[in-house]
Structure 1
Amino acid sequence: MNPAQHAAPHLRVRDIHKRFGHFTALGGVSLDTDKGELVCLLGPSGCGKTTLLRCIAGLEQQDSGSLHIGQRDISLLPPQARGYGILFQSYALFPNLTVEQNIAYGLAGSGREQVRNRVAEMLELVGLAGSEKKFPSQLSGGQQQRVALARALAPAPSLLLLDEPMSALDARVREHLCTELRQLQKRLGITTLMVTHNQDEAMLMADRIAVMNQGRVEQYGTPQEIYRQPATPFVAEFVGQGNWLPFESRERGLAQVGALSLRLSEQAGPAQRGRLFCRPEAVAINPADAQDNRFRAQVREITFLGNRCRMSFELEQLPGHALLAELDPESMPRLGSPDIWVALPPRSLQVFA
């Protein structure tokens, strides 16, 4: 657990509403971000995550609700008075200014020597020492994003806002820069709120994730909680892969799915009808004879994904209903024929009403 979680939150968002005409972009969003924490706003396009970030930044005015950084109420303050740094996906560097001049842009009012020292410090921090006199066009995409980050950090803000900062980069550069940014954020201890639609990015970087859908936060928790105990069907479907099995009735710890009776754990949830959810990696392949929820199955397709394989299969007693399992490539030779046994461990089955 983050030690800061015992202290007062650094950023407090309370019941934020925002409408654009008849469209509700934010329908009462509340969340706390602790000092030094990196929180990701994760969700599909149009879910409200960028609108929330823009309200916090003062680039949009919320219709109602309050925003605090520490003890300061920033709800109605202009952007320049809120004390944050912001990094956009487009970098937003001035093409006619040098790297040094871009970073110094937010230091207006400081002495010349102070600015020069701060720029040098920021370039050292982001690994671009010696690039002061270059222009943005002379830098790669990853280097331009580092300059934009240095500019956001130069005024020593108490809050860093990141709006899809890696989306314009290719996959290899993105992963490398994500790791670098996370290490830098930890070292500086700066509270950070990051918008992304990329779940891998959120899982890699975040202390906590707020999964958003249709202007609301569906779940707010650690990456492990979001993945292992999704609070709603939307979170279960949006984050990672999953199997769904509709059940019609339930009694004495068993759920009836077509011709199958599936044993559930005591923590599975109280619903008497609904859907069972199971992650592909929880499916056991060729398990021991005595294992619960063990059924014959037929392999339909196997997809090689590098460090793992994804297998599509159907249960003999539930034909036409494709399910997924994930296994390591070394397990493939042990599958033998397309006819196999699988088990859906009770502890891995989550119930949604």
Structure 2
Amino acid sequence: MSSITLSIDAMGGDAAPEVVMEGLELFCRNRSDVHFLLHGQQERMAPLVQAHKLTGQCSLIDHPDVVSMSAKPSSALRKGKTTSMWGMIDSVKQGDAAAGVSAGNTGALMAMAMMSLRKMSGVHRPAMTALWPTLKGRSVVLDVGANLDADADQLVEFAVMGESYARAVFGIERPTVGLLNIGAEDEKGRDAVKFAGEIMRTRDIGVDFKGYVEGNDISMGVVDVIVTDGFTGNVALKTAEGTARLVSRYIREALTSSLLSKAGAALASSGLRELKTKLNPSSVNGGVLLGLNGVIVKSHGGTDAEGYATAVKLAADLANSHYMEEVSSGLKRVSQLGIAPETVE
């Protein structure tokens, strides 16, 4: 396997740079073919790199400023090139790194990435993905926060980008696609959703569209790709994460409430460990900003080291894939059809 260079915003996240370095150390236990360009405050990064034995795999690039988790995108853009987040993105733009990772401010990351990398041809707005655990494995959900609203054109673009992304990440030759709605009937939903559904049913956009899916279908693994607007997707994502933590806590409390339950937990320890892994949001951490001229992975800001390592692995896997070419080809195909929601009868 050839060497890969990844660009890392070492100062992005609730507990950066400590969690970032811990995550990189975890990742490097299984991968020695990756070199990191660490962007951040040199005096804070250097001792942590040494402590986590990352010296041989890292190059440190000093940036005096940090984008705070509460900063508005406009404020972050004014700081511009002096921040670790901008530096991370610029390394991808210049071709010094194959992909970038940040756990920083989502709005600022999207604004900076769009300004620096620019949108791919045919993209109205980039979308953010999430990998969702299901009964059949995993699915891709997009958008999960980049765009509060989306019209029919954008939802169709999301379908094309999500399908190409799923093919690259899951290795599925023809991923299935569903449009998130409040019911399976054709007449239900907002106009944008109905227009997008009509386009995908009647036009050959190159995706295997299975129709509308409901919220409970996501975790059942009914389709490989679920398309929605960023407001709905983000609410669904955060609700699922909160439910996973709630179930984990209920199970823990139930299994430690008495001596008998503790004994039962000891007997079922292997199964419980597997359940804990499946319910752990860190195991699927990392969303990709699809539709940009470069690979940028967004980690949860409050993730732990395991979650950050998962996001870095996703970036490395995408850097070794052809998903950018797949997305570009799909968007070109849609553009040639001249699709617009107002033309749908």
TM norm structure 1: 0.26
Structure number with higher helix proportion:
2
Structure number with higher strand proportion:
1
Higher relative contact order (CA 8 A, sep 6+): 2
